[in-house]
Amino acid sequence: MRAIAVSTFRAEPALVEIPKPDPRPGQVRVRIEYASLNPLDGQLADGSLDGPAPQAFPLVVGVDYAGRVDMIGSGDNRFRVGDHVFGRTGGPAAGAGTYCDYVCVPQDSAITLVPRGLDARIAAALPSAGMAAAQILDAVSPRGHESLVVVGAAGGVGSCLTQLAKARDVRVIAAVRGDERSRMGSLGAVVTIDVTDGPAADAVRAACPDGVDALADLASATSEEFAAHAATLRPGALALSTRGVAAGAPLPDGVRGVDFRLDPSPVLLDVLAAGAADGVLRVPIDSELPLEKAPQALERNRIGGARGKTVIVLREHGRC
């Protein structure tokens, strides 16, 4: 089968031919129609999981997918051959990358049926970004009605988080690169700040002089950048990083730092998919590309500039 894989960590991802996997007991094999790109994909190919986790090369890139169950391993199973499914795999380290024609996943992992009315491309774009957004919102704003600064709000996680927060009456201050006021406003942000105009913290203080209740920082790569955003928070606030820079960051008195870690679940996928099928949750698609263009898409994601998800097309839904 075709796959985009790296031959060793930090090698360039390339199109290769590898054997089609067979499902083990308790697994299903999915014939992938669409995969979606997450920043994690490039990070994993760069060796961010190098260390204790088992690795086998070539390492197939990607975690999100939508497709059809085409084979079922022995044992109990909740799926049937032909089911239209989507989900998030355990990833390349588990031998389950998704930039390829077939992937085998445990039937009790984050995999579920694509609901009626949900486009398969959107289903493929939803898992990582949607589940992260929902779990981040639960962490930073459990009661709703708070104010929340989202740094990196124009990306995959941020676009979903802004909408889910708005639905919970959370006032989102979106910090983005470039003039995204119209787009972020349509997703539910009450204030949009262009970080290229000057220090974002100054603009946040101008918008919220009494301080902000929570921070979801999806962009800062250093503790210092993260701390600069957290300086706008009031005592008792929570400051969350998706990039692992909260621990050890110099935070204001009374502000608690949290490093977020996604906990994928099929139940959460069902909830998000229902919202997307109803049109309550919009998952913006920036571009669709054939599999062989995925290496360029990974490179482009490192540089930035996308405004929505990149979908990799293995085969159009319903076609052989």
Binding of residue 258 to ligand NAP (CB under 6 A):
no
Sequence-distant (6+) residues with CB within 8 A of 183 are 154, 307
Binding of residue 105 to ligand NAP (CB under 6 A):
no
Residues 57-86 that bind ligand NAP (CB under 6 A): none
- x/- string (CB under 6 A) for ligand NAP, residues 180-219? ---------------x----------------------xx
Size of interface with ligand NAP, in residues (CB under 6 A): 28
| Closer residue to ligand NAP in complex, CB, 15/306 | 306
| Closer residue to ligand NAP in complex, CB, 157/314 | 157
Binding of residue 310 to ligand NAP (CB under 6 A):
no
| Closer residue to ligand NAP in complex, CB, 74/222 | 222
Binding of residue 139 to ligand NAP (CB under 6 A):
no
| Closer residue to ligand NAP in complex, CB, 36/107 | 36
Choice from 21, 156, 275, 295 touching ligand NAP (CB under 6 A): 156
Binding of residue 151 to ligand NAP (CB under 6 A):
yes
Binding of residue 11 to ligand NAP (CB under 6 A):
no
- Minimum Å gap between C-beta 206 and ligand NAP is 17
The CA distance from 266 to 271, in Å, is: 9
Binding of residue 236 to ligand NAP (CB under 6 A):
no
The CA distance from 32 to 68, in Å, is: 7
Binding of residue 130 to ligand NAP (CB under 6 A):
no
Binding of residue 128 to ligand NAP (CB under 6 A):
yes
Binding of residue 155 to ligand NAP (CB under 6 A):
yes
Q: Which stretch binds ligand NAP (CB under 6 A): 71-79, 82-90, 115-123, 174-182?
A: 174-182
The CA distance from 155 to 63, in Å, is: 17
Residues 288-307 that bind ligand NAP (CB under 6 A): 301, 304-306
Q: Which stretch binds ligand NAP (CB under 6 A): 38-46, 71-79, 92-100, 245-253?
A: 38-46
Binding of residue 38 to ligand NAP (CB under 6 A):
yes
Residue-wise DSSP of the chain: -EEEEESSTTSPPEEEE-PPP-PPTTEEEEEEEEEE--HHHHHHHTTTTTTTS---SSEE---EEEEEEEEE-SS--S--TT-EEEEE-SBGGGTB-SSBSEEEEETTSSEEEPPTT--HHHHHHSHHHHHHHHHHHHHH-SSS--EEEEETTTSHHHHHHHHHHHHTT-EEEEEESS--HHHHHHHT-SEEEEGGGS-HHHHHHHH-TT-EEEEEESS--SHHHHHHHHTTEEEEEEEEESSS--TT--PPTTPEEEE------HHHHHHHHHHHHHTSS---EEEEEEGGGHHHHHHHHHH----SEEEEESS-TT--
The CA distance from 83 to 105, in Å, is: 14
Binding site for ligand NAP (CB under 6 A): 38-40, 128-129, 132, 151-152, 154-158, 175-177, 195, 218-219, 242-243, 260-262, 301, 304-306
